[in-house]
Structure 1
Amino acid sequence: MTAKLNMTSIIGRVARGSEHAEDLSYAEAKNLFTDWLHGDLPELAMGALWTAYRIKGESVEELRAFVHALEADIEPIAFQHNCQPVIFPSYNGTLRGANLLPLLAMTLTRCGVPVLMHGFPVDHNANKYSWTDHDPSGRVHSADILREFGLASAENSHQANSLLHLQGLSYLPVDTLHPGLGKMLALRQQLGVRSSVHTIVKLFNPFQDHAVHCAGVTHPPYLLRLQEYFQQEQNTALILRGSEGECFANPKRRPDLQVCRQGESVLWIEKDTQPLQQIPALPENSGISSTCRYMEAVLDGQLPLPSPLVDQALCLLCLSGRCTDMDSAHHHLAHHFSHYAA
């Protein structure tokens, strides 16, 4: 453990409740997260910090330090392409509706945009856990859908690079990204609540070069927090209210699509507030088989891609550099999907 860290002092400062807790300095937060990733913190301290940050929340400076500590400790993916890849973190899965994040990813890859997804391993058995804040039983994860589709997961950054070149899409389990990060995420199974690490996985860049972040949030205050983070980092990102925590637009009603680029944050497309005129064609249930059949029908042109996902894809086509503006993105998507909007 870093000799400079006084865990008693740090826990005492961040665990004083939402009104009196202190934010750590950038250096303190970076050292703390580095030690946590390496397993150098006592178990009691890890549990205390996990809960304390759940109550306090993270400052933007703390988030920057946590993310920089993680990025400095992973082997980056040395991927080269004529446009920036899109990063989809996928850790929640869906229960009430179909998980359409893999469909959005495949839509982009068909249009020539490489996509990296990362999340829990394919064999992640969430059903054996009982969490007070998030019932995982019956949830369908992106890894399950990609496996059903016959798409292999990467086992390391080199293989992720190869899969991106071969199929335009790669799924990287969190344990292969960083074993310590996987262990940190597993604390939720013991403590029953999410914490800072669930925000960090939405922010870090596994690539050696620039990429486009797509971040879906559940709690409205984090929309502003993530905007501030991406603005300070000068990163390119699309931020939206996610579907059950996954970063794809609600297929029935589009949320605000907020873009961060070159230190500025702009609302590109406003949320849909009009009464729903027509329910889009969607999977008959949220199961893996039903979702895969629906995806095949959309990709084959038999069913339209729901318009909120069309809008999200258009934004990402522009942000990745594949298209120069929304008009050219419309033409590009129409060229690859003859039946592309509900």
Structure 2
Amino acid sequence: MNEHPFAEFIKILGKGKKGSRPLTQDEAYRAMTMIMNDQVEPIQLGAFMMLMRVKEETPEELAGFVAAARESFHHDTQTISADLDWSSYAGKRRHLPWFLLASLLLAENGIRVFMHGAEGHTEGRIYTRNVLAILGINAATSIDQAARQLQENNFSYLSLEHICPKLYDMINLRPMMGLRSPVHTLVRLLNPFDAAYSIQGIFHPSYRQVHQKAALLLQQPHMAVLKGEGGETERNPDMDCLVQSVHYDELSEENWPAIFERRHIKPEELNPQQLAQLWRGEFSDEYAEATVIGTAAIALKLLGKADNQQQAEALAQSYWNARDKERFST
């Protein structure tokens, strides 16, 4: 019986402590291309994903995976205009997704924000699409609808299900595996509409540099990655926030200091209705408001709307003060 072509990549990863090694960028690209083209048996896919999970992805592997996944897309990125690509895959558990208000604040001020994510793959979390529905914002259900929403409203959320069904199916294997897989990492770097600027949140600090270097290998012009609250792209105002960036071929990092000296106690329950109430000024919460403004400030700095942190935070505050409070009125 002839050896399956995909076995090459499993052997590279699984030969033990002395015999195994990471994939090169080209090997990672070829492996993911086979996966995208349904040229892999289910047992091989499971073995590959878990071997990658144990060793964790290198920037070269991640760049190869993303390049192959992007080649499977069936839409023309040149016809879609997005300023900022915003990934949202983790879901929130300890706090509400205040980052949504930050992204909508940017959109209200002329920045076209394309958000993509997946929902339901981890039990007990609040996902973006569900909260948008509570706010009265319809998630797009196709590439064309997302493009129209960006044109009309400067904001669109589209599930991975409608961008790359294969990756969507893979990310939803988490309950079966019991662990995250490389898919949870690579989807954050997909930038499906090829926006010049992208921002990502991760949970494990060690992944910041992996994302940063992978973005460099992918020649993404402007990218920022931070350890976000719960793994989402959300600045926690109670903690210092290290942001690692790519601007063309240069890597940089800067620390955004904590806004509060003492940490806040997490709420006993999460009520998504409070997002609309905070926006309308009917609900007061210093942690939530600082999160919205602080997250927007990091994005504004990335976008080049401000030269330093102080200017970015002042601009975000001015956006917040001038927001349309009738936007989410019932």
TM-score (norm 1): 0.82
1:51 aligns to what? 50
Q: CA deviation at 1:258?
A: 2.5
Match status 1:163 vs 2:149: yes
Contact 1:90 1:117 in 2 (8 A): yes
Per the TM alignment, residue 161 of structure 1 is displaced from its structure 2 partner at its CA by: 0.8
**1:87-126 matched pairs, under 5 angstroms:** 87-120=85-118, 124=120
Aligned mates of 2:84, 2:268 — CA distance in 1: 29
The residue type equivalent to 1:108 in the other structure is: L
Cα offset, 1:204, TM superposition:
1.5
Matched-pair contact (CA < 8 Å) for 1:230–1:237? yes
Determine helix, strand or coil for the equivalent of 1:118. Answer: strand
Shift in Å at residue 80 of structure 1?
A: 5.7
Q: Secondary structure at the match of 2:217?
A: helix
Matched, 1:7 2:6: yes
Q: 1:132 aligns to what?
A: none
Match of 1:287 in 2: 271
On the 8 A contact 1:113/1:317 being kept in 2, the answer is no
Amino acid at match of 1:253: M
How far did 1:173 drift?
0.7
Cα separation, partners in 2 of 1:324 and 1:30, compared to 1, 3 Å? same
1:4 & 1:307 partners in 2: Cα distance? 57
Distance in 2 separating the partners of 1:103 and 1:120 = 19
SS at match of 1:256: strand
- CA contact under 8 A between 1:29 and 1:62: conserved in structure 2? yes
2-structure distance, mates of 1:185, 1:200: 10
Instruction: State which of 278, 290, 311 in structure 1 corresponds to 2:294.
Output: 311
Structure-2 change in CA distance of 1:271 and 1:19 (3 Å): farther
CA contact (8 A) 2:101 2:275 kept: no
Q: Distance in 2 between matches of 1:331 and 1:289?
A: 27
- Asked if the contact 1:240/1:255 (under 8 Å) is kept, the reply is yes
Query: Normalized against structure 2, the TM-score is what?
Result: 0.85
Which one of the candidate residues 161, 171, 181 is aligned to 1:175? 161
In structure 2, C-alpha distance between the alignment counterparts of 1:262 and 1:34, rounded to whole Å: 26
Q: SS in structure 2 opposite 1:183?
A: helix
SS in 2 for 1:117: strand
Partner Cα distance (1:260, 1:18) in 2: 33
Q: Shift in Å at residue 339 of structure 1?
A: 7.7
Q: Report the aligned-residue RMSD.
A: 3.0
Letter in 2 for 1:7: F
Contact 1:216–1:239 (CA under 8 A) maintained in structure 2: yes
Greater shift, 68-77 or 311-320, is seen at 311-320
Amino acid at match of 1:336: Y
Tell me, in whole angstroms, the C-alpha distance in 2 between the residues paired with 1:4 and 1:165: 50
| Correspondence 1:25-64 to 2 at 5 A | 25-64=24-63
In the TM superposition, what whole-angstrom CA distance separates every residue of 1:228-269 from its partner, at most 9, and x where no partner exists? 222333421111111111111114334222222122222233
Stretches of structure 2 that go unaligned for 5 or more consecutive residues are 324-330
Aligned partner of 2:132 in structure 1 is 146
CA distance in 2: counterparts of 1:34 and 1:196, whole angstroms: 14
What is the identity, as a one-letter code, of the residue corresponding to 1:159? Q
Deviation at 1:52, TM superposition (A): 0.4
Aligned identity (percent) is 25
| 1:222-233 mapped onto 2 (5 Å cutoff) | 222-233=207-218
Letter of the 2:48 counterpart: L
State the AA in 1 paired with 2:42.
E
Q: Provide the residue aligned with 2:188 in structure 1.
A: 202
Q: Please, which of 181, 188, 204 is the counterpart of residue 219 of structure 1?
A: 204
TM-aligned CA distance change 1:250 to 1:324, over 3 Å: closer
- Look up the equivalent residue of 2:96 and give its one-letter code: A
Do the aligned residues in 1 keep the contact of 2:242 with 2:253 (CA within 8 Å)? yes
Q: Does 1:136 align with 2:123?
A: yes
Structure 1 distance, partners of 2:20, 2:276, is 46
How far 1:302 sits from its partner (Å)? 6.8
Residues 45 and 317 of structure 1: CA distance in aligned 2, closer, same or farther (over 3 Å): same
**Residue 333 of structure 1, aligned match among 316, 326, 330:** 316
How far apart are 1:196 and its partner, in Å?
A: 0.8
Q: Structure 1 residues 4 and 30, CA, compared in 2 at 3 Å: closer, same or farther?
A: farther
